[in-house]
Amino acid sequence: MPLLQRNTPTMKKIALSILVIFSVVLFQSCKKSDVAAATTTTPPILQATINDATWTPDTTAASITYNAATKTKVFTLTGTKSQKQVSFSLTLPNATNSADFTANTYRVDNTNNLTMVYSTQQKNSSGSYVFVPFGNVEPAGGVVVITSVDTVNKTITGSFALTTKVTNYDSNGNVVSVTAVVVSAGSFTNMPYTFTSN
């Protein structure tokens, strides 16, 4: 019996040491999972909802180009994924030669200052896959909102939406149906862009 009593404090120390080590490992594990959760919630640079399905492009490009001859500045943006592509081109008349772009709301109208296109990938007659525009975005059928431009880091932030329609006709030229694709809740957040002046 005395032998067991002598070992009891040692056993308690060992048990306490194991408990401390287990607690540290558990705490570190929780910290790592918190960090992982924080990094996965970062908003994507470009995303939208296409016909109620979330779409986050894996290929993106944006640029601002100033044309000295016409005194226009053009902001273009393209996103591509899963055989789908969304792109738009926004022209600012009477612009200055700078890497910024005026924060404002721009709508598709009859001026063609804003053109928006939703395309799908199809095989052409040569057997190559190309992006083909799906229908047309009519006046008042699309909008781009520029909210901020960081000319130092060359990033741009804003939102967009569009509806493109294809009118289907029968052999007599009568309208049979209209097929629409709705791109909503589009956003570009701190999207990197290039600036060119020519």
Give this prediction's pTM: 0.76
Per-residue pLDDT of the chain (198 residues; tens, 9 = 90+): 444 445 555 555 555 555 445 454 444 554 444 444 545 567 799 999 999 999 999 999 999 999 999 999 999 999 999 899 999 999 999 999 999 999 999 999 999 999 999 999 999 999 999 999 999 999 999 999 999 999 999 999 999 999 999 999 999 999 999 999 999 999 999 999 999 999
Determine whether 108 is exposed, middle or buried from the number of CB atoms within 10 Å of its CB (0-12, 13-18, 19+): buried
Cβ neighbors of 60 (< 8 A, separation 6 or more) are: 45, 46, 77, 78, 79, 80, 191
- Looking at the chain, list the stretches that DSSP marks H as alpha helix, in order from N- to C-terminal side: 2-40
